[in-house]
Amino acid sequence: MTRVARFILALIVGLALLTWATSGVVQTTAREWFERDVNSRAQLVLIGARQSLADTWNDPENLQRQLAALARDEHVMGAAACGDDLSTRSSTPGFPIEFSCSEVGSRVRGADAAAGNASQGFSEWSTVSTLPAGRVYVSAMPVWSQGQEIGFAILVQDLSYIDRRVSAAQTFLIVVFGILAIMAFGIPLLVAKRARSDWSLELRRMLRGGGKQSREFQPILSDMRELVGRMANERENAPGLWTAVRLKQTLNRHLHGERIVILANREPYIHQHAASGGVEVQHPASGLVTALEPIMRACSGVWIAHGSGNADRETVDRNDHVRVPPGEESYHIRRVWLSEEELQGYYFGFSNEGLWPLCHMAHARPVFRAEDWHQYSIVNQKFADAVCKEVDSKDPIILVQDYHFALAPAMIRKRLPAATVIVFWHIPWPNAEQMGICPWRNEILEGLLGSSILGFHTQLHCNNFLDSVDRYLETRRDQEQNAVVMQGHRTLVRPYPIALEWPVHWVETADSVEDCRAQVWRDFGLKPDALLGIGVDRLDYTKGVEERLLAVELMLERHPEFRGRFSFAQLAAPSRTKIERYRLLNETIEQLAERINQRFGKKDYKPIIMLRTHHEPPEVFRFYRAADLCFVSSLHDGMNLVAKEFVAARTDLKGVLVLSEFTGAARELTEALIVNPYDQEECCEALATALTMPEDEQRDRMRSMRSILVQFNVYRWAGKMLVDAARLRNQERVAGRIAERSSVGAAI
């Protein structure tokens, strides 16, 4: 046994013995004090009542009232009046029969005789006795009338409360000594901890990279860093365990519960005037919103976005804020208003006629105009200013989303040098040659390098970005860390494949698969043995909707057994209709659907069902759960969350996903039927295979894909980015302290 342990044991034993001895002394002393107090109180009560008892001695009714008044105290069990012949003249209800007038009278006279008094009168007398109900205190006092003794009064008091008080005092004493014992145990531990505090502080300082490294620690420094890093990585990235609660705990642990500021063009909730005259809330058809909105519900903060709804201005407060989601109100939207000129140049112009086709290999020529670039710069500055007004610290956490705000990170960095800016680019990044098409490529790259972390869906997109930086900017590239250093500022470039929340709350509130199927069949007028395919997209040329419908047409041509049975429903929310390329796409899709319907349709059968309107998430998930297959035919996509939504919706483990190989999702959902959307033959056969796939195989494929969604959900995606940001910020703080100490030392 160590010396410290022996000392602690001896201390605890000594305190226990001291507690036992002190408890006995306290018990005896307290009981004597209480009994003395009871005796004094009994004498005062009887002396005070002696005259009133004498006055009513011969009036039984009044005498009874006097005795009842004496027994009114909660600690008095009863009172009695006894005559000089030891008879009971009156007593209160409940007076103990053990203390009758004859019994007490004989004791009172005996006590008087023992005192050497030859008189046959009564004297004061008291004693402590024990009844079945507990200990009592009995006192007696003679009653005089006109100088003549006429009897005596008896008062019986309950002493059980004294025992309770003594017990409480003992308990208090034990608790006090227990606390002392804990302190006696804790103080040596503190002393021992203090003895090795210098060692611990030195080791932590070395692990953080600060201070001069002591020679004795250098051999273990490398091993400890490796162990700590591995343990932290395993804990933060444990698959299948990320939830909204864990994300919030991670934020509290690494970022001390700081709120998050998100900058995105699209807002998660849009307020629109309804046909009925009221205001309705809509959820935009956006993968970005689908991914980020659960994070804001989990962590709270501010979502800064363009106010695009025609009722948005009516629903904000004087600071342009509105709390969402309706009924939950867990975070704020801060709306930024744009003029028609700004919207045309920044959004429709540079963002969607320039950057969008530049980054997507979908054979649309990007258009770059100087005026559009001017508006893009102005709007980026406007949103950056809004971010700086919303933050509540000098080093906030800011998430900048997508290609609409390529310049904002550097603008924010200029005003908030200590901010941790995380940029996530939701669309692909082109190769260096293609990036060279943009006249303002350098400005875009420099703007993005104002971020602390720049995230893409895949490693390929990260590599393309790094190649672009190497080709067009004078920077230093850290190959080991996948980072770019420009003018002393380091930007990490990382792949973060975006995901869905799990479980998806739209699925949890949805009707059963059978009910969803029955509703859709009823709405479309489908036959009981009909088969249904589903496509869900904004009507965008990168989504391959035209190629999708052509594949359906070829499948009906090659496989006549599906004619009259198979219908394909395309949910196509209108998008960017002010751009001519999108208007032409709308017309092309409409004409193509009409041609296929005329070719294969009948009076009671329509092979292509076009639903060209916005659908709220509950409606979309109803279609997911009802369909036999989902066809995602994107020509080029960063991730495509429609594929993941379909898998998440299929709690019955049925349905088949036909997925374009040019999506980021195809790298994760490998059990889908992966196709080249440009190859109509391959797509045609994949659709036929999906419609004839046995249920056992459907379940095996769906179960495997769902396990991916469980492990790699949106909370894990956000948690990984935030943990990386926290570590980067900590490193920068340590580096800043070291630089500050070095400058002070140099000055001295």
pLDDT tens per residue, range 166-190? 777 777 777 777 777 677 667 767 7
Average pLDDT score over the chain: 85
* Of 248-262, 354-368, 455-469, 502-516, minimum mean pLDDT range: 248-262
Ramachandran region, residue 176 (left: φ > 0; alpha: ψ -120 to 50; beta: rest): alpha
Q: Contact 138/129 with Cβ under 8 angstroms?
A: yes
DSSP conformation letters of 346-410: IIIIIIIIIIHHHHS-SS------HHHHHHHHHHHHHHHHHHHHH--SSS-EEEEESGGGSSHHH
Check pLDDT > 60 for residue 229.
no
On the question of pLDDT at 236 being above 90, the answer is no
Res 356: pLDDT: 95
pLDDT score recorded for residue 234: 46
Pairing of strands 270-273, 279-282: antiparallel
The structure tokens listed for 124 are 């004061």
Residue 215, pLDDT > 60, answer: no
pLDDT value at residue 559: 97
CA gap 294, 303 in Å, rounded: 12
More confident residue, 305 or 198: 305
- Domains of the chain (ranges, CATH numbers): 3-165 (3.30.450.20), 258-495 (3.40.50.2000), 524-712 (3.40.50.2000)
The pLDDT confidence band at residue 691, using thresholds 50, 70 and 90, is very high
Buried b (16+ CB within 10 A) or exposed e, 332-357: bbbbbebeeebbbbbbbbbbbbbbbb
Distance CA 642, CA 663 (A): 11
pLDDT digits (tens, 9 = 90+) for 265-305: 999 999 999 888 888 988 876 667 877 888 888 888 999 99
Query: What global pTM score does this model have?
Result: 0.66
Least confident range from 97-101, 282-286, 326-330: namely 282-286
Please report which confidence band the pLDDT of residue 434 belongs to, taking 50, 70 and 90 as the band edges: very high
The pLDDT of residue 231 is 46
What is the band of 102 on the pLDDT scale with cuts at 50, 70, 90?
Answer: confident
For residue 622, pLDDT beyond 60: yes
pLDDT, mean of residues 392-400: 90
Average pLDDT over residues 453-477: 95
**Do 378 and 346 touch, CB atoms closer than 8 A?**
yes
pLDDT the model gives residue 106: 77
Query: What number is the average pLDDT over the span 715-723?
Result: 87
* Long-range contacts at 69-78 (CB < 8 A, ≥ 24 apart): 70/45, 70/46, 70/153, 70/155, 73/45, 73/157, 75/38, 75/157, 75/158, 75/161, 76/155, 76/156, 76/157, 76/158, 77/136, 77/156, 77/157, 77/158, 78/156
